[in-house]
Amino acid sequence: MKAYKLEILVIDFDEVGVGIPEMIENAKYPNHCISPHVMSVQEADIGEWDDEHPLNKRATMKEYFKEIFKA
C-alpha cells in the first residue's frame, strides 16, 4: 500500500494512486469555502495495512510519518 504527502496524509485504501491530487483539487466544497491546489506530492510505500499499522495508531502516527517522508 502507498501513502502520499500533500501536506496532509492520504492513506490510499482504494489504490487511487497518482489521481489523489486531482480528487482533492476537483472536490466540490460547500460554498466554495476552499480552493486547494496541490503543489507537490511525495509517495511512500507503507507495506501491508492492518489494525496495528503505525499510521493507524495515534501514538505512533507522527513518528512513522516523519520516518517515511524524510526530507
pLDDT at 39: 87
pLDDT at 71: 58
What's the rounded Cα separation, in Å, for the pair 43 and 55?
A: 14
Provide the grid cell at 61: 502516527
Q: Tens digit of pLDDT per residue, the chain (71 long)?
A: 999 998 777 888 888 898 988 988 888 888 888 888 888 899 999 999 999 999 999 999 999 999 999 85
pLDDT at 2: 95
pLDDT at 69: 93
What domain range includes position 6?
2-68
Global pTM value: 0.70
What's the rounded Cα separation, in Å, for the pair 71 and 59?
A: 22
- Number of structural domains (the chain) is 1
